Structure 1
């Protein structure tokens, strides 16, 4: 279910960028991410024996795609909710790290790359659209990604050598 929430979040961000007529280079990765996630969702449904749900998800996402732009406030609200959802998932990751005090299999490199991506997206957003909602989203994500990376590095176990 959480997977579908993130997929819908990507759809909202893509629709937001298209709705406001932003240049293709500011959101080009999102159609690729959405296609990958849609294929993954289909594979999950196929191999779990739930292919009947695929039509439900397709209709829901397709309907959501069009409902988002019925009114300007709907797309703006959806964009802000997606920022909240993304931030909540990162805070949940932080909470898990704090509770276990072990970074386990969590990759500091992956989280630092995510932070770098947010930093570059802040720069490109300022240079192209200067959209406040998008800037706030990426600033929040940058701060949380750096926080998760620092927490992972803090709890990383040091291997002893003889």
Structure 2
């Protein structure tokens, strides 16, 4: 005898419903709880734990605001550095322009007076050595050309002054031309690194005492002669100012301690020669 279709349907519904209810109930302390109630308890517990933990953590500024603040500080620092670098470049240009005419008053003074009294030839040779080494040192180290352009300019002017001093002291001879050729040969070896660059690294620290010695020799010559007639005061005023500006431009460009010490010493000695020349120039005028 076949089972009626309605009984099959009723049996299926009862079995399916019982299975669903049994799977949706959880036993806790001997009692049946619905799954939704248990999940609600779990969610509340997790929420309470999170609230307790968050209350113990100190409040911090949002990451976005901290990032913005650091970016602003970095931007301000880079802007200030940019303006300082522009100012250093401006001073470099002014220094180079002043160096273009620094020793021209001295050259004109020698040519006008036709005498080299009070000029230290030893000081000129020492100064030429210093300019040669420092030009080669900066060039081979590939420093910014604006940071040392005055060296080759002053070197050229020094060569003219040395020629005039030798001329007025009647020291021009074939041997002097041979010494000049030897000088240019050594200078070329430095520039084209035929001589190893380490040699310039060794010689460069010696330029500070060499440059100082050249200025000391010139200062001693003025004090010994008690006459600064052949000394151009304007030349040493420009020398003092250009050395002073170079302290700042070298600090901005490379901060090379060797170069900085060289220029600081040069400022003090050039200033001393300038003041001595002014003093003895006034003394000569008073006696006249």
Q: Could you tell me which residue of structure 1 aligns to residue 146 of structure 2? A: 25
Q: Distance in 2 between matches of 1:93 and 1:139?
A: 18
Name the SS for the 2:285 alignment partner.
coil
Structure 1 residue 159 corresponds to structure 2 residue 285: yes
**Unaligned 5+ runs, structure 1:** none
Can you list the C-alpha shifts for 1:127-161, whole angstroms capped at 9, x where unaligned?
A: 1111100001101110001111111122223636x
CA distance 1:80–1:38, shift in 2 (3 Å): same
Alignment root-mean-square deviation, CA? 3.2
Q: Distance in 1 between matches of 2:227 and 2:153?
A: 33
Moved more, 12-21 or 135-144: 12-21
Residue 132 of structure 2, aligned match among 11, 26, 35: 11
Q: Could you tell me which residue of structure 2 aligns to residue 95 of structure 1? A: 220
Aligned residues: 156
Q: Distance in 2 between matches of 1:150 and 1:36?
A: 22
**Where in structure 2 are the equivalents of 1:50-61 lying within 5 Å?**
50=174, 53=178, 55-61=181-187
Name the SS for the 1:125 alignment partner.
helix
Q: Distance in 2 between matches of 1:99 and 1:36?
A: 25
Deviation at 1:68, TM superposition (A): 4.8
Q: Distance in 2 between matches of 1:39 and 1:94?
A: 20
CA distance 1:89–1:68, shift in 2 (3 Å): farther
Q: Which has the larger radius of gyration?
A: 2
Residue 147 of structure 1, aligned match among 260, 266, 272: 272
TM-score (norm 1): 0.75
Q: Distance in 1 between matches of 2:236 and 2:200?
A: 28
**Where in structure 2 are the equivalents of 1:103-122 lying within 5 Å?**
103-122=228-247
TM-score (norm 2): 0.46
Does structure 2 conserve the Cα–Cα contact (< 8 Å) formed by 1:14 and 1:31? yes
CA distance 1:16–1:102, shift in 2 (3 Å): same
Q: Distance in 1 between matches of 2:247 and 2:266?
A: 10
Does structure 1 conserve the Cα–Cα contact (< 8 Å) formed by 2:137 and 2:204? yes
CA distance 1:110–1:52, shift in 2 (3 Å): closer
